[in-house]
Structure 1
Amino acid sequence: MEQILDEAEFLFSKHGLHGVTLKDVAKRASVHHTLLNYYFNDKKSLFDAVFARRAVVTSERRMRALDEYEAECGGKPTVEGALRAFLDTDLDLYIEGGESWKNYAALGAQVANTPEWGAELMDEHFDPVVLRLIGLLKRSLPDCSEENIFWGYHFVTGALMLTLARTGRIDKLSGGRCKSDDFIAVKKRMASFMAAGFLGICGQK
């Protein structure tokens, strides 16, 4: 089963839900396609299983990191501290987890940008940890409006999803100075950059 999910994840990350068939997955996994029909009702149920497998890992890790950060900060969270617990913990998975986790990252970027059915998956797997982050951000910016807190998160997740997609565009624009798969470089910069954005829209220096 793990082999099937691994190969399906690879194919879906490269071609999307509609660019892959169950026979494609079976061929890549070196199993008969009837085996996939036995375990999965259709291609979408296979896709959902692939997505859920790692979604639970990243959600639980980030929730734990946010809990630990709240305990460590003594009830006085900062914007950057909360963002680092949320972003850096996730980026570490893609840095340390090898190509399979990077494939999942690309898959997540696809799901996040597919409103027809992707929003439902994102809601199901990530709403609790996102709202946990929002709660810390509200406490770190008590005078900031809820609208600005949520818009700030919207911009954060947009940048994160573009990063996870690894489109290669920044490679070309920067003449090779930046690499779209250099998650270490992203980790060094993203939380600080986004924290400044929150402070900017909330009217704080």
Structure 2
Amino acid sequence: RAICDRHGTLLVFDEIPAGLGKTGKKFACEHDGVSPDIVVLGKALGGGILPIAAVVAREGLDVGADFAFGHYTHEKNPVTARAALTTIEIIEQEGLVANAATVGAFALKKLTELKLKHPLIGDVRGRGLVLGIELVTDRASKTPANEQAEKVMYRAMERGLSFKTTFGNVLTWTPPLTVTEADMARAISILDESLSDV
């Protein structure tokens, strides 16, 4: 924030992958006490079903409120706008941000315990329901275990757990806000079994 202010640059946060509660706060930037000038939202905004995105700017940056930039057939859809409002209402009414924080903390604790059992796990990190399990061939050198990560991913998929890998060796988990501790415990059990196979 200070660097952007010093250089007269806008601070823009892409909250598309992590916003609307996924990190255990409504917006990921809240964890660091930073107020961006612009926040970009999408994906989850439409309830994971309808395509909608938003650019939310601080007061003073709303320079287009009094005129139209043009009209396109794909913009201003009332159905997706209603979906976005309903999504936000459900997140708030059902306490899904708090659920993400609680279940995420549970998962982080259990995954950290799993690290003690499996030398292949080099690091476990996360905020809320944005979790990363880094697989390495050697913890000292932190050499990425790309081949093993792919095998673990496919073993887990065979058992019903789906996730992606990032950088080839980080198992990236981003379950829905409605996930329960029981769901997460089952996912961690599947991961444990899949790691044991490799």
Greater RCO (Cα-Cα under 8 Å, separation 6 or more): 1
TM-score normalized by structure 2? 0.28
- Give the structure with the higher percent helix: 1
TM-score normalized by structure 1? 0.27
